[in-house]
Amino acid sequence: MRVTVRLMGSFRDSLNEGERFRAIELREGSCVIDALRTIGVGDDEPWNASIEGQMVEAEYVLQDGDALFVFTPLAGGALSPHD
């Protein structure tokens, strides 16, 4: 299946210059964490993700055509203070 991934914040470093989205191919039944590993986001990096505005967790099962939005975790107005 095909999933589009949009990245914001420091995750844009995973994309090529000028690239805003990346379409990736995943096996049926793949989860959010599989998509992140595919584009090179490390397991130990903190992240938030959403699909159509709804927050999703690592184990959320993706569907063909999903547009996944990945961003640095929302905290106190900064990109990522530790609390």
Q: Could you tell me which residues come within 8 angstroms of residue 45 by beta carbon, excluding any fewer than 6 positions away?
A: none
User: Binding residues for another protein, how many (CB under 8 A)?
Assistant: 28
**Residue 52 — φ and ψ, nearest 5°?**
50, 40
Q: Exactly one of 17, 25, 28, 44 binds another protein (CB under 8 A); which one?
A: 44
Give least dist CB 28 to another protein, A: 24
Distance, in Å, from the CA atom of 68 to the CA atom of 58, rounded to the nearest integer, reads: 12
Cβ proximity to another protein: between 26 and 33 the closer is 33
Residue 61 sits in the site that holds another protein (CB under 8 A): no
Please tell me whether residue 34 adopts helix, strand or coil conformation: helix
Q: Which residues of this protein are in contact with another protein, per CB under 8 A?
A: 8-10, 44, 46-48, 50, 52-55, 57-58, 69, 71-83
